[in-house]
């Protein structure tokens, strides 16, 4: 057992003090120390022993007594021990200030610590331990730069000072310079290998921050080897185990956390991790206890932030949003910058979004997005906030970003579809389908709500088959499939008992009694209702009725099913049944505005004006005037009251119209896109004569209503047609009526046909008017008004036809026939027993009958005159026809004559061309078959012929130059005669040529040599003499003589074939020779012609 010996003053005796048995009252030991003037190092040892035993007050009392003025004066020559005592007090108060949670007391502790360190510095300003203490104080205060300066002062004097190295390592760690901090810890360990385990804890933390987890684990485990109860190392290893995110790691981590808590139950980090664990296990009581303890024992900002965050999460999960918001805010305040700990910002944004503080929530989520720009959850939250703030485009932008960042996030696509469903139905449908595909691909169940939305969008686009498939997929198997597919017979009630049929629920009771399972889950009610609505659209009201009754059988308070049954009954014109069904709905909720509005409409249709007005007012009061439908219905009531068929009071009519306009305007102010209110306002303006304004309104309403299956507004088409009619634009009015008939009524509405007939009547299109009225009569044969209108139309048509200046007999006959039909119609109406019931006056009808008979009598002279005129016209037409036929015959004869002349000319021309070609071929053959021997025998004859005729040719050549401008026909005649003489003059030459064609080697060689020259001539490479011959045509003998002379001079060259130019020249020269020889009087004739 350790003991301390205090020497007795002026004696060799010593006072023995057992360190483990120090007196509880420090005054006893102080008296001994003061009395014996014990060395100050003993004071310091005793004080430290008190501190180890947890007796902090005794520790402080001894050190403060040892640093008092008396001690300073007595021990003035002792410097180190005095400095050590002051530094110990400074370190003590630095620690108190560090762990103190109250700011005022924290500052007080730091002030005392500063005073003690300054006093120590005054004793020796170069003492390293004092500067180390000052550095620790500055670190506790958060002044990292000043702390670094203090540690560097020590290290500049002693680079191996271990406390200074450890202090500077802490500075670098706080700066985020983990490599530098690690090097300083290593230096301290090298200098002092037996240093405390905390040094290796610093090394482990640096390794962990640098991502060197294995080495960090080794360091922490080494700390535990040296100090098995080191809480920091246990917590660090526990965190590393937890971050493995494995079941074994989480279990080991929590075991280490529990052990750390058992060793030291006030370690804040361990408390926070334990609270986090108990949060996920749902033990919120333990979470709150642990976090409150952590907040009580720590003053470290990030640690407190985690504690507040855990506490806020606990209250958040329990639904206490007010407290959760406060603790989230406290967690945020403990953080200097959001990147240090972003989770409380996200939680605070969630709570503010829940509490409706959208601006604050937006700010917090945007901070989260700055740190994590690709966080899909934050983007979706911001999308919801922008929707609430009315910034739909921004909301859609964030949702689209979320789907791009994570294309597998089905929830993002689902929420994007919810955003787009009101603005872009096609894109919303694509988003919903993508979400459905992702859920199916991931093996998850597709929510009924999602399938219901997809079905509704298909329904709105008119894709009824796809809508039905989707609704059936959402509903799955059930009794409803039996009704839809016709496997259950639900049409057992006679049609005459229609009231029972629409209200009968015993069908399902009988099914249950027979053992059938009749169930309808609550989350499928809306989908089944939509499927029944689809059956209505597909014109299956019976199937829709049984589905609505199935809903009412399982959920009798589902008011919309009653209203749809009432709507089906109304469509069948069973107003009384419809009213009863609406009353059944009002029994469930007598303040239901939809039921009240429908009841008022039915009462109005039943001509119960007073009740209808009261019902509409009740519907409006039920919603404090916010229900646009009820307000709109009141506007309609005032409009109908203004235009009733009873005697009109101009003042009352104007009052009702103005009230209707006011109500329509009120609806438009609340809902600017309400098409029905806009249509009503247009109707009122049209009634007041403002046709241009009302036409613009009707046009805009028509454009907005087009393309939406749920907005069927034939009224706006009819109103627009009425405006065109009122403006006299009958063509557009007719087109609008016809389009409305085809688009909404399948051309089967007699009332619109009546509007159309009236338009044709005003446009004086009598036949179109008659046809339209006949179609309407065919649809409603009991409507006598249409018959009367048809008679008036026939009467007007007949009168207008007879008033025409020019009319044919057929037109007059047709007029008489129509008049007879009109008489028959009016007579039939006059004989009807219920004439007055349809609003007809018998005298007026008789007047029409008499008028038609008078017109019939007046039509007979018109018919006779028309027949005479028609005969005269027919005679004139016959004469004109005969003249036209004669002229046509003459024209054809002239054309035939011209054709024959032209054909003869073409034949003559073809014959001439053919003769020229034949002659050319003969000449060509003659030249090919000629030989040098025959040319020699003929040379003398040709010379004689040339000598005898040279003078004559000379004269003729001169005359021929004068006759170059003679007619072509003369040359053609002369060439034909020359051909005939040529054939007669040279028969012997042809025989001779034939003889020379016998094969001889020499002749063949000569002939081949001559042929070589022919291509040269064809290419235009003849000598100058040949060109001169072309300029002055020569005789055939001259040409031949030159050809022979050339062949004699150059026998080695082969002959070449004649070109077209040479052939033509030869032909011309031959004709000239024959002409000179056969026509001795040719010169005389030429002279005469010249």
- Which of the given ranges, 660-664, 803-807, 938-942, has the highest pLDDT on average? 660-664
SS3 at position 7: strand
- CA dist 987 and 869 (Å) reads 86
Residues in the chain: 1090
Lowest mean pLDDT of 255-259, 603-607, 956-960, name the range. Answer: 956-960
Token representation of residue 732: 């557009």
- CA dist 943 and 922 (Å) reads 24
Tens digits of per-residue pLDDT, 722-780?
Answer: 999 999 999 999 999 999 999 888 888 999 999 999 999 999 999 999 999 999 999 98
Q: What is the pLDDT at residue 489?
A: 58
Q: What is the pLDDT at residue 837?
A: 52
- CA dist 756 and 10 (Å) reads 140
Tens digits of per-residue pLDDT, 35-54?
Answer: 777 788 888 888 888 888 88
Token representation of residue 38: 């014990």
Q: What is the residue-averaged pLDDT of the chain?
A: 80
Tens digits of per-residue pLDDT, 1036-1052?
Answer: 444 444 443 444 444 33
| Cα dist from 806 to 424, 704, 862, 865, 964, whole Å | 62, 50, 10, 11, 73
SS3 at position 476: coil
SS3 at position 3: strand
The 3-state secondary structure of 27-58, one letter per residue: HHHHHHHHHCCCCHHHHHHHHHHHHHCCCHHH
Residue 680 has pLDDT above 90, yes or no: yes
| Residue 569, C-beta contacts closer than 8 angstroms, at least 6 positions apart | 498, 502, 575, 577, 578, 581
Confidence of residue 490 (pLDDT cuts 50, 70, 90): low
- CA dist 319 and 795 (Å) reads 83
DSSP category for residue 10: T
Contacts of range 622-631, beta carbons closer than 8 Å, 24 or more positions apart: 622/591, 622/592, 622/593, 622/596, 623/593, 626/670, 627/593, 627/597, 628/667, 628/670, 628/671, 628/674, 628/677, 629/593, 629/594, 629/597, 630/593, 630/596, 630/597, 631/663, 631/666, 631/667
E strand or H helix at 18: strand 14-18
**Concatenated DSSP letters of 841-857:** -HHHHHHHHHHHHHHHH
pTM: 0.57
- CA dist 1045 and 488 (Å) reads 123
Contact 64, 84 (CB under 8 A): no
Tens digits of per-residue pLDDT, 116-129?
Answer: 889 888 888 888 98
Q: What is the pLDDT at residue 1016?
A: 38
Q: What is the pLDDT at residue 1013?
A: 40
**Concatenated DSSP letters of 967-1024:** -HHHHHHHHHHHHHHHHHH-HHHHHHHHHHTS--HHHHHHHHHHHTHHHHHHTT---H
DSSP category for residue 838: G
| 511 or 972, which is more confident | 511
| Residue 561, C-beta contacts closer than 8 angstroms, at least 6 positions apart | 529, 532, 548, 549, 551, 552
Tens digits of per-residue pLDDT, 642-665?
Answer: 887 565 678 888 888 999 999 999
Q: Work out the burial of residue 259: count CB atoms within 10 Å of its CB; fewer than 13 is exposed, 13-18 middle, 19 or more buried.
A: middle
- Beta-sheet pairing, 3-7 with 14-18: antiparallel
| Cα dist from 343 to 241, 328, 519, whole Å | 22, 9, 46
Lowest mean pLDDT of 154-163, 387-396, 1012-1021, name the range. Answer: 1012-1021
Token representation of residue 647: 């005697």
How much is the average pLDDT of 510-537?
88
User: What phi, psi does 407 have (nearest 5°)?
Assistant: -65, -5
Tens digits of per-residue pLDDT, 952-966?
Answer: 444 444 444 434 444
Could you identify the residue written with the tokens 């009819």?
A: 718
Residue 1072 has pLDDT above 50, yes or no: no
| 505 or 668, which is more confident | 668
- CA dist 1037 and 948 (Å) reads 12
E strand or H helix at 6: strand 3-7
Q: Work out the burial of residue 728: count CB atoms within 10 Å of its CB; fewer than 13 is exposed, 13-18 middle, 19 or more buried.
A: exposed
- Which of the given ranges, 5-9, 235-239, 297-301, has the highest pLDDT on average? 235-239
H and E: helices and strands count for the chain: 55, 2
Tens digits of per-residue pLDDT, 347-380?
Answer: 999 999 999 999 999 999 999 999 999 999 999 9
Reference 766, options 801, 732, 730, 807; nearest CA is 801
How much is the average pLDDT of 399-408?
91
How much is the average pLDDT of 829-841?
63
Which residues face 15 on adjacent strands? 6
The 3-state secondary structure of 875-899, one letter per residue: HHHHHHHHHHHHHHHHHHHHHHHHH
User: What phi, psi does 610 have (nearest 5°)?
Assistant: -65, -50
Contacts of range 1076-1083, beta carbons closer than 8 Å, 24 or more positions apart: 1076/949, 1076/952, 1076/953, 1076/956, 1076/1035, 1077/949, 1077/981, 1077/985, 1078/977, 1078/978, 1078/981, 1078/985, 1079/977, 1082/956, 1083/952, 1083/955, 1083/956, 1083/959
The 3-state secondary structure of 646-674, one letter per residue: CCCCHHHHHHHHHHHHHHHHHHHHHCCCC
User: What phi, psi does 591 have (nearest 5°)?
Assistant: -105, 10
């Amino acid at each position: 057992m350790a003991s301390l010996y205090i020497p007795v003053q002026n004696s060799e005796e010593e006072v023995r003090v057992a360190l483990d048995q120090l007196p509880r009252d420090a005054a006893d030991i102080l008296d001994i120390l003061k009395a014996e003037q014990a060395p100050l190092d003993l004071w310091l040892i005793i004080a430290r022993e008190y501190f180890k035993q947890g007796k902090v007050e005794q520790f402080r009392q001894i050190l403060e007594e040892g640093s008092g003025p008396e001690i300073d004066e007595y021990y003035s020559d002792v410097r180190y021990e005095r400095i050590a005592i002051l530094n110990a007090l400074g370190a003590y108060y630095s620690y108190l200030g560090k762990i103190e949670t109250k700011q005022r007391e924290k500052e007080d502790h730091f002030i005392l610590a500063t005073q003690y360190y300054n006093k120590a510095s005054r004793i020796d300003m170069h003492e390293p331990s004092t500067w180390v203490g000052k550095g620790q104080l500055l670190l506790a205060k958060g002044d990292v730069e000043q702390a670094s300066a203090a540690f560097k002062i020590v290290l500049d004097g002693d680079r191996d000072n271990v406390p200074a190295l450890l202090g500077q390592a802490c500075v670098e760690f706080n700066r985020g310079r983990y490599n530098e901090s690690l090097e300083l810890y290593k230096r301290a360990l090298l200098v002092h290998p037996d240093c405390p385990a905390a040094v290796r804890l610093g090394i482990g933390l640096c390794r962990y921050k640098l991502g060197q987890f294995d080495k960090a684990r080794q360091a922490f485990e080494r700390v535990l080897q040296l100090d098995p109860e080191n809480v920091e190392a246990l917590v660090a290893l526990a965190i590393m185990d937890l971050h493995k995110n494995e079941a074994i790691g989480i279990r080991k981590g929590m075991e280490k956390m529990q052990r750390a808590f058992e060793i030291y139950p006030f370690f804040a980090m361990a408390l926070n991790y334990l609270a986090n664990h108990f949060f996920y296990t749902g033990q919120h009581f333990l979470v709150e206890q642990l976090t409150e303890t952590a907040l009580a024992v720590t003053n470290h900002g990030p640690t407190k932030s985690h504690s507040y965050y855990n506490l806020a999460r606990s209250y958040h999960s329990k639904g206490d949003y007010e407290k959760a918001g406060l603790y989230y805010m406290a967690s945020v305040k403990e953080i200097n910058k959001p990147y240090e700990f972003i989770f409380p910002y996200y939680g605070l944004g969630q709570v503010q979004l829940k509490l409706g503080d959208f601006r604050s929530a937006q700010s917090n989520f945007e901070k989260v997005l700055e740190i994590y720009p690709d966080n899909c959850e934050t983007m979706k939250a911001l999308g919801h906030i922008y929707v609430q703030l009315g910034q739909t485009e921004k909301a859609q932008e964030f949702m689209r970003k979320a789907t791009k960042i994570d294309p597998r996030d089905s929830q993002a696509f689902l929420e994007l579809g919810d955003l787009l469903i009101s603005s872009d139905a096609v894109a919303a449908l694509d988003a919903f389908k993508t979400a459905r595909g992702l859920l199916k691909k991931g093996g998850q169940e597709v929510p009924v709500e999602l399938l219901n939305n997809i079905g509704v969008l298909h329904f709105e686009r008119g894709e009824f088959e796809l809508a039905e498939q989707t609704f059936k997929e959402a509903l799955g198997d059930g009794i409803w499939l039996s009704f839809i597919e016709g496997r259950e017979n639900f049409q057992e009630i006679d049609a005459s008992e229609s009231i029972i049929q629409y209200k009968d629920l015993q069908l399902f009771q009988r099914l249950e009694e027979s053992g059938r399972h009749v169930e309808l889950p609550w989350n499928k009610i809306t989908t089944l209702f939509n499927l029944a609505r689809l059956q209505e659209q597909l014109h299956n009201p019976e199937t829709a009725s049984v589905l609505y009754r199935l809903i009412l059988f399982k959920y009798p308070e589902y008011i919309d099913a009653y209203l749809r049954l009432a709507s089906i009954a109304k469509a069948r014109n069973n107003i009384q049944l419809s009213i009863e069904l609406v009353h059944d709905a009002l029994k469930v909720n007598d303040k239901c505005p939809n039921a009240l509005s429908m009841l008022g409409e039915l009462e109005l249709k039943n001509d119960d004006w007073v009740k209808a007005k009261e019902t509409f007012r009740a519907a409006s009061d039920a919603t404090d005037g916010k229900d646009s439908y009820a307000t709109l219905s009141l506007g309609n009531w005032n409009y109908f009251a203004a235009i009733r068929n009873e005697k009109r009071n101009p003042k009352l009519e104007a009052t009702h119209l103005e009230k209707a306009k006011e109500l329509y305007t009120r609806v438009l102010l609340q809902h600017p896109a309400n098409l029905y209110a806009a249509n009503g306002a247009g109707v009122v303006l049209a009634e007041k004569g403002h046709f241009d304004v009302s036409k613009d309104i009707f046009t805009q309403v028509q454009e907005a209503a087009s393309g939406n299956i749920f907005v069927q507004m034939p009224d706006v088409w009819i109103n627009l047609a009425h405006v065109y009619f009122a403006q006299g634009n009958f063509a557009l009015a007719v087109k609008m009526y016809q389009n409305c008939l085809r688009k909404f009524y399948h051309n089967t509405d007699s009332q619109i046909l009546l509007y159309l007939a009236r338009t044709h009547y005003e446009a004086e299109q009598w036949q179109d008017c008659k046809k339209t009225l006949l179609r309407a009569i065919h649809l409603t044969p009991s409507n006598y008004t249409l018959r009367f209108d048809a008679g008036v139309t026939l009467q007007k048509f007949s009168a207008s036809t007879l008033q025409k200046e020019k009319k044919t007999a057929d037109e007059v006959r047709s007029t008489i026939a129509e008049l007879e039909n009109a008489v028959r119609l009016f007579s039939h109406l006059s004989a009807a027993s219920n004439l007055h019931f349809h609003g007809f006056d018998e005298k007026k009808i008789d007047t029409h009958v008499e008028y038609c008979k008078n017109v019939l009598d007046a039509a007979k002279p018109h018919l006779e005159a028309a027949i005479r005129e028609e005969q005269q016209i027919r005679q004139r037409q016959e004469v004109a026809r005969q003249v036209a036929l004669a002229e046509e015959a003459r024209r054809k004869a002239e054309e035939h004559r011209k054709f024959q002349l032209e054909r003869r000319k073409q034949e003559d021309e073809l014959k001439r061309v053919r003769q020229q070609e034949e002659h050319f071929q003969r000449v060509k053959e003659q030249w090919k078959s000629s030989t040098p021997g025959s040319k020699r025998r003929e040379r003398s004859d040709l010379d004689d012929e040339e000598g005898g005729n040279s003078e004559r040719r000379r004269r003729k050549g001169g005359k021929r130059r004068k006759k170059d401008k003679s007619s072509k026909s003369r040359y053609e005649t002369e060439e034909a005669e020359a051909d005939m003489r040529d054939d007669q003059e040279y028969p012997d030459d042809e025989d001779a040529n034939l003889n020379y064609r016998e094969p001889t080697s020499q002749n063949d060689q000569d002939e081949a040599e001559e042929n070589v020259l022919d291509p040269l001539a064809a290419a235009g490479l003849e000598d100058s003499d040949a060109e001169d011959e072309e300029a002055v045509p020569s005789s055939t003998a001259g040409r031949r003589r030159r050809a022979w002379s050339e062949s004699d001079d150059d026998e080695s060259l082969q002959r070449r074939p004649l070109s077209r130019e040479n052939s033509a020249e030869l032909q011309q020269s031959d004709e000239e020779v024959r002409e000179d020889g056969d026509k001795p009087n040719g010169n005389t004739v030429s002279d005469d012609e010249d």
